[in-house]
Amino acid sequence: QQQVKQSPQSLIVQKGGISIINCAYENTAFDYFPWYQQFPGKGPALLIAIRPDVSEKKEGRFTISFNKSAKQFSLHIMDSQPGDSATYFCAASKLRYGNKLVFGAGTILRVKS
């Protein structure tokens, strides 16, 4: 049973376009939602994270949108670049349990130049 469902499995976007990756969760006790970015041959690295008390968080070209009532959150990459080509994982956790993250299945993003 996957606690965090991520879609799509793969995504191809033209350079300059918007990449959108969606995640849905079941457990309403989750209160921390990070996104990790993984390049080939490397381990994942934290990209951006959000708490459920805000509906949106933006860092440069990366934005998380959060919908608490729908139990969904998404990553938007504006002006997508070939260097953004990577695997993206959403995750969720309960802050008081420390770093026990539950990850989504991952999305392979390819940005075509």
For another protein, the binding residues (CB under 8 A) are: 2, 6, 9, 32, 34, 36, 41-46, 49, 89, 93-101, 103-106
The minimum distance between CB 3 and another protein, in angstroms, equals 9
Q: Which is nearer to another protein, 96 or 113 (CB)?
A: 96
Q: Alpha-carbon distance 80 to 17, whole Å?
A: 5
Bridge partners for 49 per DSSP: 34
Q: Which is nearer to another protein, 14 or 27 (CB)?
A: 27
Sheet holding 4-7, edge to edge: 4-7, 19-25, 72-77, 62-67, 56-59
Q: Which is nearer to another protein, 40 or 113 (CB)?
A: 40
The minimum distance between CB 74 and another protein, in angstroms, equals 17
Question: Which of 77, 69, 110, 107 minimizes the C-alpha distance to 90?
Answer: 107
